[in-house]
Every structure is written in C-alpha cells, then in structure tokens.
Chains A and B, each alone.
Chain A
C-alpha cells in the first residue's frame, strides 16, 4: 500500500500563516485530500487537488502539489484559533482506496 507521512505537531501564532506538509509514495495517486478533525469529532473534508494540478486556492487555504517529489502542502493564511485541529493528508489510488497520514496537530497560540 501507499505510505503517507506528516509531522505530528505544528504551532503558530494567531494571524500568521500555517504550512502543513505531507509526502506520499505512490506516483499513480489520482487525488490528494486534506481533512480537518476538531476535538471529539469525525474528519471533515477541507479541500482536494487532482494530480495534474500544481495549485488550488480556496479562500484562506492554498494547496500546493509537487508531483515529481510527491509532496503536498496545505497553507492556511491568517490562522485563527478556530483553525486549531488535527489535519490529515490522504492520497487516493485506484477507484476505492484512500491512504491517510498520521495527522498533524495544529495549535494556534493567541
């Protein structure tokens, strides 16, 4: 199966930008996803990018994909305390299977 890796923790100050990084191993991955998990809740889809794209922007969120290096990042501009959560990267291979990273816990310091 595919390996998806993320760092476990990130702390930023309120108002700064956050950048969460992810690497994956399967170059045939078709879609790459970012999910957000708030405390005690399930995972909520934030955004996704198709593998033939380099960048996708959605309000404060920017996703960058370097397909050559199999590297995905999520940038959150003007980070707020409400952005504190665990962020999961996931890579899709084939029609059915998503492979998840371990999640990055983002802490926003007021």
Chain B
C-alpha cells in the first residue's frame, strides 16, 4: 500500500523551540508539498519541491523553511516556533502529470505553548 508517512501525529512544543516535521513517501514521487490547515481557511501551501534539493515558497512561507536532501523525504522546519503556528500540518506528494492528484499523509497536529 503506497504511503506518505508523517513522523508524528501530535506534537507539543514550547515557544522559541526549533521544530522539525518529517515526511517520507514510498511512491518515488518527484513532487512534495507542505500545507497547514486551520478552521475556515482550508489548506494553505507553505513550501513545495519538484526535485531533490529544490524548494519553492508557497503562499505562507514566513517562519518556515524546508529541506529535501533525498527524493523520498521532505522536512518542514519551524525556526523559532510561535503560538500562531499551532495548526494541523499536512504533507503530500505527487508525480508530474499524473491523474490521481496528491497523496496525503495523516497530518501532524502541532501545539505551540
């Protein structure tokens, strides 16, 4: 069964901490994405990557960075966590031109206290 795996379902971190959210896919997909989801705001794209060592800013990149050293792994980094980064974070992957859209992970619910 093909999968996108996010390392944690729930995380609680303190303000100012550096936070790493990990995402691994086993489908050999070129494209990977990080979204955050907040009530009433839908999915907002933070960063995406079309290839190893490549990254592009999405709609809300401020306060975040990413790393893609290997094709299967895409990490989201909160450089200095703040309470307004409390959210559900979703990772997704896809293959260019494929007609099955994105495959999503189960999400990480991050609480910053």
Contacts and interface: CB of A to CB of B under 8 A. Distances in A.
Contacts of B97: 95-96
A108 interface: no
Nearest to A101: B42
Contacts of A90: 101-102
B42 A40 contact: no
Interface string A54-79: 00000000000000000000000000
Contacts of A31: 99, 101
B50 A96 contact: yes
Contacts, number: 52
Mostly, the B contact residues are loop
B104 to A, nearest CB: 4
A45 interface: yes
A100 B42 contact: yes
B88 to A, nearest CB: 8
A100 B43 contact: yes
B94 interface: yes
Contact of A102 (B40, B100, B107): B40
B40 A40 contact: no
Interface in A6-51: 8, 31, 33, 35, 40-45, 48, 50
A44 B2 CA distance: 13
Contacts of A102: 40-42
A92 interface: yes
Contact of A88 (B41, B43, B94, B106): B43
A103 B94 CA distance: 20
A36 to B, nearest CB: 11
Interface string B70-106: 0000000000000000000010101011011111111
B101 A48 contact: yes
B31 interface: yes
Interface of B: 4, 9, 31, 40-43, 50, 90, 92, 94, 96-97, 99-107, 109
